[in-house]
Structure 1
Amino acid sequence: MGRERELKEFVAVSQDRRCRGFLVCGAAGVGKSRLAEECVEWAAASGFRVGRATASAAAAAVPLGAIAHLLPAGVDLADPVAGFAAVAERLAAGQEDRLRVLFVDDLHWLDSSSAVLLRQLMDAGAVQLLGTVRTGEPYGEAVAALTGGDSVRRVDLGVLNSARIGELLAAALGRPVARHTVHELTAASGGNVLYLRELVLGALAAGDLTEDGEIWQLREGRLSGTARLAEVIGARLTGVGLAGRTVLELLALCEPLPLADAESVAAPHTVAALEGAGLIRVAQDRRRTTVSLAHPLYGEVLRAGVPVLRRRALLLDQAARTEARGARRRGDPLRIATWRLAATGTADPALLTRAAVLARHSHDYAQAVALLQAVPEDHHTTATRSMLGDAFFEMGRWADAEKVLARADRLADGERETLAVALVRTTNLLWSNAPVAEALAANDAALARITNPVDRRKLKINEGFMRIVAGLPAQGLTLLEDLETDVDDASDIDAWLRGAWMKPAGLALVGRTHEAVVWAERAHAVHRRVDEKALASHPAFQRIPLVLALTEAGRPAEARRTGEAAYAELVVADSVVRVWVAVLLGRTEWLSGRPVTARRWWAEAAALARTFDHAMALRPVLAGLAACAAVQGELEAAEVALAELGELPLPEPGLLSAGEERLGQAWLLAARGELGEARTVLMAAARTARVTGHATGEALLLTDVARLGGARRVAGRLTELARACDGELLPARAQLARALAADHPERLLRAADACEAVGADLLTAEAATAAAAAWHRDREPRRAAAAARRAATAEARCEGARTPLLMTARAVAALTAREREIALLAAVGNASLDIARALTLSVRTVDNHLHRAYAKLGVTTRRELARTLGQHPPPARPQG
């Protein structure tokens, strides 16, 4: 994984007779031997004669010990000069034109005699060397001569990046892995594949790495290794001496440290030796030189081995050293407080509070909680309680946040403190599973205690924020109409940022997408500028409405890039608000016609929402998972997602239209061939969206009605919405509905053009497929073929999506709408009686329509019908 370039380089070297060797170099555990094995397999498959040897410390004690098994029998090596020449001659004889590839693992351990002999064999053209070398390991002059020269090619393997590790884990585990889990495993392993493997095995054995049928996820804060991993790391850290061990232990507890601090506990040459051994890393930042451990796992192993009293002494000494320098750097109070707290379980309350502020503004919520919980109760203030409640909220600990914030509200002294608590508390209530009315009531209670017009207006802004989150965008936008476009007053920041977060979301939901994009960009820029003054979430959370707005504006590629970047930031911050980035990215990919990618994002969102019991996000996500599974033909997975959705408490309003929660049910019905029932579900869902003012959500649902055979019924309303809203996506949807209603091939192709322009690949494929069917019906084979090719190009980008329109348009070109509907129901195994009941027809009428469909399609059984229509055939009936 991730070594394609190096493998190609070996292939090129093996075919170049001027090259005598290929060396794979790198640190222990980066995959040198794995790459070399792949090279050996390619060489053998290509007809090269292959030999293998493994060097080791034990073999190095015996001359030629590592390669003795490769030497020809009967050669006298008493005289090395004559003997080596004889070996070269014997190995070169009878090879025809294929060189012998000799793989030597751990070449740095090779004894001098073996190295000299191999060099002669290479120079004679008898062998081509393939070797692995661990960087940082000493080796003798003979091995240096073996690996030197222009005829030997060297590649240096680095660690894998996060993206490659995500691919590797998904390939190894058989399902996608949550991005936070990938981040945790990448950070812990440092990209080292050996360490990664042991971390994964340990987490699996401990039950900390689990999957839910869609995605693998690591339990929060749990990462177990294996005994082998501890042994490998422990062996790497041995032999450094007492002074060197002290430096390593100090770094494990306090890294990164100034170089002067490391040299205060050990001589400079000792620190230099640690760097030379690859155990520590020295970095230069302007005039400051810092030291840290070379790998994060070194710290884990070292910390586990430090006795309690020694740990205490190291931490307190380092705190004293930093204080003696005056603790001048910005982060010094945070470091000192953390060290003293870890050493003694307490610290000066004022220091703890200062440190917590620094931790909170660097978005290290777990550290902020640890520091604030250590503050004695009589030293807490309304501000510290609000900050603690906010940190709990960011971690998804809703009940803990409410407990702290309710107390802060009771103890608030004056209107400004009441306002500050209300802003945080209402947000926490809104995200938890408390009724929306409870959050609104808390805001009203604060409003009743505040008389200052400026502060009362901030609570009205907060109410507007809440109403949009609660699924009432028009009401919320009314309250946010006069929200200033900018803010610099520190006292206004928290309320303004909340309003500025939700205003673009509300604008996007009612179809004012251009305004939404402008507002979201402005809010993000302001948040970045004032981040250290605000008690609001990470600035990347301002990207959430931008993803929604860009998608509804018909700019999915930009939405994708924006959302993925924001999600990466929020994963590092470990903020629960990232769940909504995943929700909206899943929606973006669904609207783009990429069900596999959409399902991946929604699976991530579902896993996270379950972890934090966030039902507001879980409801649309489960519906989306069901819809994706249905269009992928995985009906059982769709049923599982819908079953979980049905077990959730009665729905509270949410950011997205409640109607979108019916998508999964509708697409499962469609996959079963029950198109009429699917349309009924979607029409009811669209009415729900219309009542709450979700114009873009209504358009999404009505477009699906059109795709499932109800274009004539919804084309007019979609046209109205397109005129009332801006952006390019909604007009493309309306154009598609009108073209489907007219069933006109040229109009369908123009609709395909419009859909392709807004990145709606599945709609493009469906429109072109319908055009091909219409041309075929009109006996225009060339035009039909051209439209079919156009459809195939778009369909190739749709990740195997299977929709009724896409799968059946060509096959049922000659069928009427009723014949098509009955044929689809029959194809998935419904009996004529069941079809008659579902469509309110007589059985005889159903059979007549089915008979005509059979004749037009040239089939005689329902299994043949299923294959023709691209459906799962019904199970065969038992015999006898």
Structure 2
Amino acid sequence: MTGKAGFSRWPLVGREGELEAFRLAWHDRRCHSVVVVGPAGVGKSRLAEELLSRAVGNGWKGARATATAAAAQVPLGAIAHLLPTGVDLSDPVEGFAAVARVLAGPQRARRWVVLVDDLHLLDAASAVLLRQLMDAGVVRLIATVRCAEPAGDAVDALTKAAHRIDLTAFDQGQVEGVLRAALGGPVGRHTLHTLYTASGGNALYLQELVRGALEAGTLANDGEIWELAEGALPATPKLTELIEARLIAADPTTRPVLELLALCNSVALADAQSVTPSSALAELEAQGLIKVITDRHRTTLTLTHPLYGETLRATLPALRRRRLLLDHADRTRAYGARRREDALHIATRQLAATGSADPVLLLQAAALARHAHDFQQVTILLDALDKDNRTYNSCLLHGEALGQLGQWEQADILLAEAETRASEETEKVAATLARTWNLFWGGRFENAMQVSDTVLAQVASPRGRRVLTLNEAAMRTISGQPVQGLAMLEDLETDVEQAPDIDVWAVAMVSKTAGLAFIGRSDDAISWGRNAHATAQREQQKIGPHPVNQLNPLIHGLADAGRLAEARATADHLIAETVAVDAWPGVYARLFRGRLEWLAGNVTEARRWYAETIAQARIHYVPRVLSQAWAGLAASAAVLGDLEAAETALAEMRTCIQVDHFAGEEYLGRVWLCAARGHLTQARDLLVEAAAKAHNTGHITSEILLLTDIARLGGAKDVTDQLAKLARSCDGAFAPARAHFAAALATDDPDQLQKVSGELRDIGAYLLAAEAATAAATAWHRTGNTRRTTAAASQAHACLAYCEGARTPLLTTPQTTAPLTKREREIALLAAAGTPSRIVADTLHLSVRTVDNHLQHAYTKLGVTTRRELSNALRGSEHVQR
């Protein structure tokens, strides 16, 4: 299923345990029936259909029956179509025995399996007949039963000795598997969370949500990943009908509290009791329509499914909605509005009901929404303020919120107005901080520095100057000037209590951790990052940015130190923490997760994370990550052989804000596209340029990555000394391992290549490890050492199991009795990509005759006669195809 296309059959995924339980039970001769039990919508019928299919596949004759309330009024109504014609049932005893004889057939050779959906609705006569057929060994039963539903004695007798399979709602991991199977591709983490939360893991609800989103075009694939557009999930008529049926079944006296919950999301128990009796609330809880949450001394109610709220809101008349909201706001006032969030509740309810609210209340509510990082709510509240009621605080809050929503130009206008309205130095500094970061995120770093310098010249207090200096240092550190920025952050306070401003301290800590990681001081980066995160968690109520953001540069530090598993776990934790609140730090976590998978050589996963970064960056207005994400996606696609996707990604990258975060790594897309086309010299030239940029900006870890790629693409001798020098200045095991890798390639020493392969494998850099082992196998093969060749090839094969689909020049080295020289291999790769000899000659600065001679030698060594055969031979290595 792709695009907006529908699906006719929901895939059966995530039920492997239940299927295995059925297999074991069905092979037991004592088994007469298997009953699937669970609440409505969890997929009982779908699983039962699969069980029936498997039984039929094992030689059983299959039949189906659906029990209904209507059919239950007629004896044998549910299974009448299964009864043999001509059997006289006027005498049930003899008649039922005759049915058994006919179904069993001559010599009792037939074995029947009957599927009964909603067994609890089966009429007594059908149940008795089925029981007799089961006792006679003629029929086995597969049935579904809705839990907590009453059934008659005859039906109970059918299930008493049955093998029971209890089916529950999907967990989030199962929902991910179902969505991937149904949609035919990976699903973004935010989309997964949204669909899982909305459906509650109910398979039927999930299916209808996906169907509705596909039909509405709000769930779409950008060519890489499936993502939902922002906003409400569209419901299908079937889903609406299902939910309305559940809601209508509730006592009519409970409708007011259900509507109130739909409008307010959660309501205090006392408020709920003011509109609905306690006994009715207890009944709603028993029916699974509401849930009760107790937090210390406070008890609140919510709807069990967000979908219930969507359905209820859609049916609420405007005046009814207004009355409910205003009455609820009045109740909150009557209690004294003592709680911190009461101002937000009153203002939003007044605004939703009437379109206006008290200006003071609006500003208080906006501050609370800002604290909760609900920037959309901030703008809704402050858009309701007329110009005459605007203040310094309202302009600052509104400008910050608009910047977070990607409306940088409009945000700058309001933040500049806040600067003008500032009545004291601290206010001016705060407005400047907000304005400079707004300009920074909008891609105007130089403008941000100009604004900062202008205000710095006007600020006299040491505190104010210190705050602005730390702010500038943070920006420079993550904008291609890590050495300069770190020098300015050298005396950054480790104790937050000594910091001049807690929010600026938090941002400076993030930047210092990142800067230390950029220059190879990974141990210090890890230490600073962990300390900053612990402090931010402890001071969570005081710090504006998400505390978990302190973990982002920690991912980078761990990855470049060679602690890839820790980096992966840290990234996953950060993403899980932010996915529910649409937090922008999760966008960076996805970017860093993509980069660490690239370092690990798991290019399929890297491509998936880069794609998700791009999708989430667009949703959360984080344009500064797009250039690197597109470059990473292009590189990953190229190594996977998807050159069209790589070209598309590079075209997108050219339209993005260009930043110097990970300086030089933005070249990787172009580099690996050239390599995939066989243009190794051009790829190396680009890498030399990129490595020089990383060197000049002080991004040591990026320089190491780029120099390593030069070695991988045939230039090992050119970079060995520099890699060894850089490795001595870096913490962790990864930099030395990459230096050893280049040195081993340069000397073509099979012992060293195989040793460094193990070194890289232990770090988790599986693609580099596979390349080293492949190069070792080639070198051993050249010496005629079959045993060592086989061992190295096996090592390469084991490492490549982690690098699904990866293709690199080192992996395409053929195993021949006369191995290709470096020049022959380079020309062969270009020729295999369809490059004419004249273009190959121009590219490599050779004569056409020389190119053809080398190509003929390659043909002879590989035992081929055409370029098509050459391409197959180069791709046919067992290490590439596995």
TM-score normalised to the size of structure 1? 0.94
Verify: 1:371 aligned to 2:381, yes or no. Answer: yes
CA shift for structure 1 position 320: 2.8
2:69 to 27, 33, 57: 57
Correspondent of 1:320 among 327, 330, 348: 330
Deviation at 1:573, TM superposition (A): 1.6
The Cα of 1:98 is off from its aligned counterpart by 7.2
Gaps of 5+ in 1: 873-880
In structure 1, the residue matched to 2:556 is 548
CA contact (8 A) 1:548 1:584 kept: yes
The structure-2 alpha-carbon separation of the partners of 1:614 and 1:123, relative to structure 1 and needing over 3 Å to count, comes to: same
Q: Which residue of structure 2 lines up, in the alignment, with residue 174 of structure 1?
A: 184
Q: Does 1:475 align with 2:480?
A: no
Work out whether 1:5 is the aligned partner of 2:10: no
User: In structure 2, do the counterparts of structure 1 residues 714 and 244 end up closer, same or farther at CA, with 3 Å as the change threshold?
Assistant: same
The match for 1:574 is 582
Secondary structure of the residue aligned to 1:217 is strand
Which residue matches 1:632? 640
Could you tell me which residue of structure 1 aligns to residue 727 of structure 2?
722
Match of 2:9 in 1: none
How far apart are the structure 1 equivalents of 2:524 and 2:571? 19
Moved more, 716-725 or 104-113: 104-113
Per-residue CA deviations over 1:505-546 (Å, capped at 9, x if unaligned) read: 0000011010001111111111112222123x2112111101
Alignment of 1:517-536 (within 5 A): 517-535=526-544
Q: Could you tell me which residue of structure 1 aligns to residue 99 of structure 2?
A: 87
SS at match of 1:128: strand
* Residue 811 of structure 1, CA deviation: 4.9
2:147 aligned partner: 135
Aligned counterparts of 1:720 and 1:616: Cα–Cα separation in 2: 31
The alpha-carbon distance between structure 1 residues 445 and 571, as it changes in their structure 2 partners (threshold 3 A), is farther
**What is the letter of the counterpart of residue 461 of structure 1?**
L
Deviation at 1:75? 3.0
Map Cα deviations across residues 197-232 of structure 1 (whole Å, 9 max, x no partner). 222222222222222211222222252222222222
Is the contact made by 1:136 and 1:278 (CA closer than 8 Å) also made in structure 2? Answer: no
1:464 aligns with 2:483: no
Identify the residue that residue 752 of structure 1 maps to in structure 2: 757
Could you tell me the percent identity over the aligned residues? 54
1:19 paired to 2:24: no
For 1:610-621, list aligned pairs within 5 A. 610-611=618-619, 614-621=622-629
Work out whether residues 19 and 152 of structure 1, in 8 Å CA contact, stay in contact via their aligned partners in 2.
Answer: yes
**Corresponding letter in the other structure for 1:561:** A
Q: Is the 8 A contact 1:774 1:813 kept in 2?
A: no
- Partner SS, residue 815 of structure 1: coil
CA deviation vs aligned residue, 1:698-719 (integer Å, no higher than 9, x gap): 1101100000110000011100
Tell me which amino acid in the other structure corresponds to 1:209.
Answer: L
Deviation (angstroms), 1:688: 0.8
- Give 1:326 shift: 3.9
Q: Which amino acid aligns with 1:780?
A: N
Root-mean-square deviation over aligned CA pairs: 2.2
Aligned to 2:798: 793
Note the 1:660-671 alignment, pairs <5 A.
660-671=665-676
Rounded Cα–Cα distance in structure 1 between residues aligned with 2:487 and 2:333? 53
Question: What SS does the aligned partner of 1:129 have?
Answer: strand
CA 1:44 to 1:27, structure 2 compared with 1: closer, same or farther past 3 Å? same
Q: Judge which range, 830-839 or 732-741, deviates more.
A: 830-839
Kindly state the Cα deviation for residue 302 of structure 1 after the two structures are TM-superposed.
0.5
1:426 equivalenced with 2:432 (yes/no): no
The residue identity in structure 1 corresponding to 2:261 is L
CA contact (8 A) 1:748 1:767 kept: yes
> For this pair of structures, how many residues does the alignment match?
865
Secondary structure in structure 2 of the residue aligned to 1:158? coil
Partner of 2:568: 560
Show the counterpart of 1:30: 42
Measured after TM superposition, the shift of residue 328 of structure 1 is 4.4
Given that 1:395 and 1:576 are in contact with CA atoms closer than 8 Å, whether structure 2 keeps it comes out as no
What's the counterpart of residue 780 of structure 1? 785
CA distance, structure 1, for counterparts of residue 448 and residue 248 of structure 2: 57
**TM-score of the superposition, structure 2-length normalised?**
0.94
Matched, 1:256 2:266: yes
Counterpart of 2:838 in structure 1 is: 833
Superposed CA offset, 1:753-806 (max 9, x none): 221122100000000110011000011110110110011000111112010101
CA gap 1:479/1:287 in 2 versus in 1, 3 angstroms: closer
Work out which of the residue numbers 736, 745, 761 in structure 1 matches 2:741. Answer: 736
Aligned to 2:10: none
CA displacement at 1:68 relative to structure 2: 0.9
Long gaps (5+) in structure 2: 1-12, 878-882
> Residues of 2 paired with 1:813 and 1:199: CA distance?
60
Partner of 1:507: 516
1:308-339 deviations in Å (ceiling 9; x for gaps): 11112222222333333444445444333332
Q: Superposed, which structure 2 residues align to 1:274-313 within 5 Å?
A: 274-285=284-295, 288-313=298-323
Displacement after TM superposition at 1:295 (Å): 1.6
| Native 8 Å contact 1:827 1:871 kept in 2 | no
**Structure 1 range deviating more: 823-832 or 83-92:** 83-92
Counterparts of 2:600 and 2:525 in 1: how far apart (Å)?
20
Cα contact 2:114–2:139 (8 A) shared by 1: yes
Write the distance in 1 (CA, Å) between the matches of 2:759 and 2:463.
47
C-alpha distance in structure 2 between counterparts of 1:779 and 1:481, whole Å: 57
Correspondence for 1:699: 704
User: For structure 1, which segment, 375-384 or 841-850, has the greater mean C-alpha deviation from structure 2 after superposition?
Assistant: 375-384
- Deviation at 1:869? 0.8
Which residue of 584, 590, 596 corresponds with 1:588? 596
One-letter amino acid matched to 1:234? E
Matched residue, 1:655: 661
Contact 1:766 1:791 in 2 (8 A): yes
Q: Distance in 1 between matches of 2:696 and 2:876?
A: 36
Query: Secondary structure, in 3 states, of the residue corresponding to 1:802?
Result: coil
Specify the alignment match of 2:5 in structure 1. none
Equivalent residue number for residue 107 of structure 1: 119
> Which one-letter code corresponds to 1:421 in the other structure?
A
Offset at residue 42 of structure 1 (A): 0.9
Q: Which stretch has the larger CA shift, 761-770 or 204-213?
A: 204-213
Mapped partners of 2:158, 2:350: distance in 1: 54
- Distance apart, 1:693 and its partner CA: 0.6
For the residues of structure 1 that align with 2:583 and 2:549, how far apart are their CA atoms?
Answer: 9
Aligned partner of 1:154 among 159, 164, 184: 164
1:675 aligns with 2:675: no
Partner of 2:459: 450
Aligned 8 A contact 2:467 2:500 in 1: no
The answer to which of 245-254 and 558-567 deviates more is 245-254
2:37–2:164 contact (8 Å) kept in structure 1: yes
Taking a change above 3 Å as real, the CA distance of residues 261 and 417 of structure 1, as seen in their structure-2 partners, is same
1:67–1:642 Cα change, 3 Å = same
Hey, what's the Cα distance between the residues in 2 that align with 1:812 and 1:646?
Answer: 45
Within the candidate set 479, 484, 494, 1:485 is matched to: 494
Give the whole-Å Cα distance in 2 for the aligned partners of 1:146 and 1:289: 43
Residues 616, 654 of structure 1: 8 Å contact kept = no
| Structure 1 stretches of 4+ moved >6 Å | none
2:602 is aligned with 1:597? no
2:774 is equivalent to residue 766 of structure 1: no
Contact 2:831-2:867 at 8 Å conserved across structures: yes
Q: CA deviation at 1:474?
A: 0.6
